[in-house]
Amino acid sequence: MSYLTEFAPGAGRLRPRAFFASDAPALGLDGVWRFRLAGSAAEVTPGFETDDFDDRGWGELPVPAHWQMHGHGAPAYTNVRYPFPLDPPHVPDENPTGEYRREFTLPNGWPEGPAVLRFEGVDSCFAVWLNGRPLGWSTGSRLPAEFEVGGVLRPGRNVLAVRVHQWSPGSYLEDQDMWWLSGIFRSVTLLARPADGIADFFVHAGYDHRTGAGTLRVETGDGVRLTVPELGLADVPADEEHVLPRVEPWSAETPRLYEGVLSAEGERVPVRIGFRTVAVEDGVLKVNGRRVLFRGVNRHEWHPDHGRAVPPETMRRDLLLMKRHNVNAVRTSHYPPHPAFLDLCDELGLWVVDECDLETHGFQRVGWRGNPSDDPRWRDAFLDRMRRMVERDKNHPSVVMWSLGNEAGTGGNLAAMAAWTRERDPGRPVHYEGDRACSYVDVHSRMYASHEEVDLIGRRADEDGGADSTDGGGARRRTLPFVLCEYAHAMGAGPGGLTEYQRLFEAHERCQGGFVWEWIDHGIRRTGPDGTEWFAYGGDFGEPLHDGNFVADGLLFPDRVPSPGLAEYKKVVEPVRIGVADGRIEIVNGHDFAGTGHLEFRWSVEEEGVAVAGGRLDVPVLAPGERAEVAPPEVPAGKAETWLTVRAVLAADLPWADAGHEVAWGQGLLSPAPPPPARRPGPVTGKDGLLRVGPAVFEERTGRLLRLGGLPVDAPRLDLWRAPTDNDHGLHGRGTPDEALWRRLGLHRLRHRLVDVAVEDDALLVRTRVAPAATDLAVLADFRWWGDGDGLVLEVRAEPVGDWDCPLPRLGVRTAVPAALSHVEWYGGGPGEAYPDMCRAARVGRFAATVDELQTPYVRPQENGNRTGVRWARLTAPDGTGLRIDGAPAFELTARRWTTEDLDAARHTHELRPHDRVYLHLDAAHHGLGSASCGPGVLPEHRLTAGPRSLTLTFTPYRSAP
Ligand code: GAL
């Protein structure tokens, strides 16, 4: 097993080539294999590869799969740190090694001659034998490897044996931030390779946007013919340039594919052709002559039960979810995806930045000492990885950039990868974020740059230097297009600040969008003893070294339920802008390529959230970039707060969504709420130490609310605390994280002192001073209570005293009502959660949900579930009793069955246990979310600075819903 100490990437493998299916015979070898896991490479089974080895004592494991997801060994998560010593190319003796065996019968009629055994992905290193004969070995987990087996196959029974090592020299190049998972995790196939077949091909299909012409040449073997009926090409030589005077180009918005066939004597290969030309021109990345704007996400392959062995239907689901959320681009972080994923991108329309399986981030911890990226002994391995990706994926129109990898420092091996790539495929720019000087890339790329920095870059005013810069090179860098290959770290509640990034992308031509980090939380599904599901993260498998829940930072929860962050992203990047204001409706087509012909515009008028009129809006078909103004429908003035909503929906079914699917919306206020009638307090009456204020009873001595009508209600108290979010925790943010400031000050352990209780002007006035221990900072909170018919009015005035030098998490009151009041209806922002810098997706309307449905199940529990701009809310029990809360004009609403302290203490969702109360937070304001878990914190305009605030609420208990 000398390969475990070599820098070479493999031996005995065939030259890399395109992935394709053909009419040549193929035999899938997925299914149940015999399996045994050895603790180290030294403990493998002698002779396991031989024909007659008796494997009946072994266990079984499906292929494709990771053995850790099937009870052998355990998953382990680290972000940057290698879980083994930096001692390249050596790996520890403790090296779990899977032994796999599978017998198969060669089908009758299988042709004699060359045949190939193809592995799509094996993590991290494997050696393979067929019928006892060694074929070779390979590294490069997320890349294919093929071996010639024509001379080894035999009619009838064949025996395939594969030895897979968890750790190998290749592991040094695979330090991506993800679970360490091993095994044959993508398909294995046996392919007959007809001698007079098509070994490989490279489709070059360009589009001239000035003339509308397409040029088509398929680089392949001599004598191969091409037929594309729709283009009028019938059995023409493939490897010649065909100029087609008029073709429909491919773009992510208009994914036009032409079906064709390549044919040789011995083989026919179906091909799908998309005409497009990618170029960097005048410092702008263009496709078909137009600037593109990436509304992207970083996608790791993830399934909560299968790890990176993602079932095909899940890949499709990802793409449908992306398209339905206005995502138009994917960076395949940080390795080439399953090849079928790219077929779907071609078909459904996504721009793809195809990234090589390469990351050496752990060397940063030793100052990049010994980084493989600049060590010539690793050069072959680097080039091998790039070649295998480019050759495999070169025929996908969706792939518009090649990325060398991620976080591998810089060095000659990366430059060599770029040079090879340009030579092999001049038709696609090269991307790599780590080349700060942009000496060997075509696009300037950064991750987590702040809004301010993006603005500077947009204005080409960014300077050399900076914390991460390796050298200057600014002059060249400033001539290139700019993308944020990662931004808006979607860990936990958030990300905040998306809108402000989008404005910069739309303001600066060279800022061509970005890719949110990341698509999905990599949680592993577990089931508790009572059947409750939860998701595990780093440390849950007893790893000695791990990075906790940093692996759960996606726009989807692990089970692919969209998070509020995804709803926000959908709204922020919507490709059509609908402005409704000042008696006008303005529609802007923000697509780069598509007109609005596929959309239908619908309007509706709602009075206090109840639809009173609606219809279709006549909007002319707009070309990309065009805008139109349309007159709003005539509607009589409403008696209540009235909004006009205009929605752009799909006019007909598309492959990724049905007719009626909403793409974009805009809302404008038609008439504000009428001023509330003048109210006069009823008298405050007292008896037996109790005070009666409207429908409520208070304790006279303390001013504490005891009962509200028939409801036992916890006396509202001022609250400033929220269970810190991952962004508050700010592990990789800048400056001192908000959570650290808050805990240092003690906002999680406030003390309340009653200053004074008085009855004045028919109102009960309760003055309090709220402060943490060990400081003289405080918030003075006055509660003024008075009765208004059936209602109880509370006016809160809060005034911080002292020199507060940190923002407040929230400012409002906290109370609790009986658990039975579990059905919530509200008029205000919804339907999902919203915070000051993540609130674009919240529209004004009337919504309903149970208290349980109001919770957002972040993998690590934290603040969540706030509903914004709530004018009124009703909480009702099944028997019809309830409580109505009105804001004047509005408040922020959170309702949950556990306390903030419970949320703060829980590490996983199943640890949260409902109490017999519904805890309510009725807030005047919240601090924003930001994305300081990795990146910038809350922007100044969304910080909740300490200052005087007030909040007015009316509580009205009822017996059956009013
Ligand atoms: C980046 C890295 C990603 C991920 C992210 C934080 O530095 O490229 O792989 O680790 O940070 O979640």
What DSSP assignment string belongs to 686-745? EETTEEEETTEEEETTT--EEEETTEE-PPPEEE---PPPHHHHTTEESSS-HHHHHHHH
Segment 787-808 shows an average pLDDT of 96
CB of residue 934 inside a 6 A radius of ligand 1: yes
Span from the CA of 525 to the centroid of ligand 1 (angstroms): 22
Segment 701-708 shows an average pLDDT of 97
Span from the CA of 177 to the centroid of ligand 1 (angstroms): 6
Count Cα atoms within 13 angstroms, Cβ side, for 546.
Answer: 19
Q: How confident is the model at residue 463 (pLDDT cuts 50, 70, 90)?
A: confident
The atom of ligand 1 lying closest to the CA of 433 is: 8
Query: Taking the CB of residue 13, how many other CB atoms lie within 10 A of it?
Result: 21
Query: Taking the CB of residue 784, how many other CB atoms lie within 10 A of it?
Result: 19
Q: Is the peptide bond between 334 and the residue preceding it cis, with omega within 30 degrees of 0?
A: yes
924 pLDDT more than 90: yes
CA-proximal residue: ligand 1, atom 2 (nearest): 177
Mutate to test the pocket of ligand 1, among 302, 332, 365, 407 (most ligand atoms within 8 A of CB): 407
What is residue 941's DSSP assignment?
A: G
CB of residue 269 inside a 6 A radius of ligand 1: no
**pLDDT for position 680:** 87
What is the spatial distance between Cα 900 and Cα 809, in angstroms, rounded to a whole number?
A: 12
Span from the CA of 393 to the centroid of ligand 1 (angstroms): 24
The chain-wide mean pLDDT, for the chain, equals: 97
CB of residue 79 inside a 6 A radius of ligand 1: yes
Span from the CA of 757 to the centroid of ligand 1 (angstroms): 54
- Tens-place pLDDT, residues 394-450: 999 999 999 999 999 999 999 999 999 999 999 999 999 999 999 999 999 999 999
Span from the CA of 551 to the centroid of ligand 1 (angstroms): 9
Mutate to test the pocket of ligand 1, among 77, 78, 79 (most ligand atoms within 8 A of CB): 79
The atom of ligand 1 lying closest to the CA of 406 is: 8
**pLDDT for position 467:** 42
Q: Is the peptide bond between 124 and the residue preceding it cis, with omega within 30 degrees of 0?
A: yes
CA-proximal residue: ligand 1, atom 10 (nearest): 177
3-class state of residue 569 by DSSP: helix
The atom of ligand 1 lying closest to the CA of 485 is: 8
Of 486, 500, 543, 608, the catalytic one is 486
What is residue 751's DSSP assignment?
A: E
3-class state of residue 955 by DSSP: strand
pTM above 0.95, yes or no: yes
The atom of ligand 1 lying closest to the CA of 732 is: 6
Lowest mean pLDDT among 645-654, 675-684, 868-877, 931-940: 675-684
CA-proximal residue: ligand 1, atom 9 (nearest): 177
**Can you give the C-alpha Rg of the chain in angstroms?**
31
Q: Is the peptide bond between 495 and the residue preceding it cis, with omega within 30 degrees of 0?
A: yes
Judge whether 253 counts as a catalytic residue. Answer: no
Q: Give every CB contact of residue 742 below 8 A, 6+ residues apart in sequence.
A: 721, 724, 728, 748, 806, 809
Burial class of 767 by CB neighbour count within 10 A (0 to 12, 13 to 18, 19+): middle
- Tell the residue number behind the tokens 């006279």, with chain if given: 700
468 pLDDT more than 70: no
CA-proximal residue: ligand 1, atom 3 (nearest): 177
Domains and CATH numbers, the chain: 2-192 (2.60.120.260), 202-277 (2.60.40.10), 280-521+554-569 (3.20.20.80), 585-671 (2.60.40.10), 684-958 (2.70.98.10)
961 pLDDT more than 80: no
**pLDDT for position 434:** 97
CB of residue 359 inside a 6 A radius of ligand 1: no
Which stretches of 210-298 are assigned E, i.e. beta strand? 213-220, 225-228, 233-237, 242-244, 258-264, 267-273, 278-281, 284-287, 290-291, 294-298
Count Cα atoms within 13 angstroms, Cβ side, for 738.
Answer: 26
Judge whether 606 counts as a catalytic residue. Answer: no
Nearest to 173 by CA among 123, 212, 114: 123
Mutate to test the pocket of ligand 1, among 404, 931, 934 (most ligand atoms within 8 A of CB): 934
What is the spatial distance between Cα 569 and Cα 563, in angstroms, rounded to a whole number?
A: 10
Question: What are the beta bridge partners of residue 220?
Answer: 201
Span from the CA of 334 to the centroid of ligand 1 (angstroms): 10
- Tens-place pLDDT, residues 284-336: 999 999 999 999 999 999 999 999 999 999 999 999 999 999 999 999 999 99
CB of residue 517 inside a 6 A radius of ligand 1: yes
The atom of ligand 1 lying closest to the CA of 550 is: 12
* pLDDT above 90 coverage of the chain, percent: 96
CB of residue 177 inside a 6 A radius of ligand 1: yes
Of 120, 355, 407, 433, the catalytic one is 407
CA-proximal residue: ligand 1, atom 6 (nearest): 934
CB of residue 355 inside a 6 A radius of ligand 1: no
Taking the CA atoms of residue 117, residue 122, residue 124 and residue 129 in that order, the dihedral angle to the nearest 10 degrees is: -30
Span from the CA of 179 to the centroid of ligand 1 (angstroms): 13
**pLDDT for position 529:** 86
CB of residue 298 inside a 6 A radius of ligand 1: no
Span from the CA of 306 to the centroid of ligand 1 (angstroms): 22
Mutate to test the pocket of ligand 1, among 333, 517, 522, 933 (most ligand atoms within 8 A of CB): 517
From the centroid of its chain, how far is CA 239?
41
What is the spatial distance between Cα 779 and Cα 718, in angstroms, rounded to a whole number?
A: 9
CA-proximal residue: ligand 1, atom 4 (nearest): 177
**pLDDT for position 472:** 61
* pLDDT above 70 coverage of the chain, percent: 99
CB of residue 407 inside a 6 A radius of ligand 1: yes
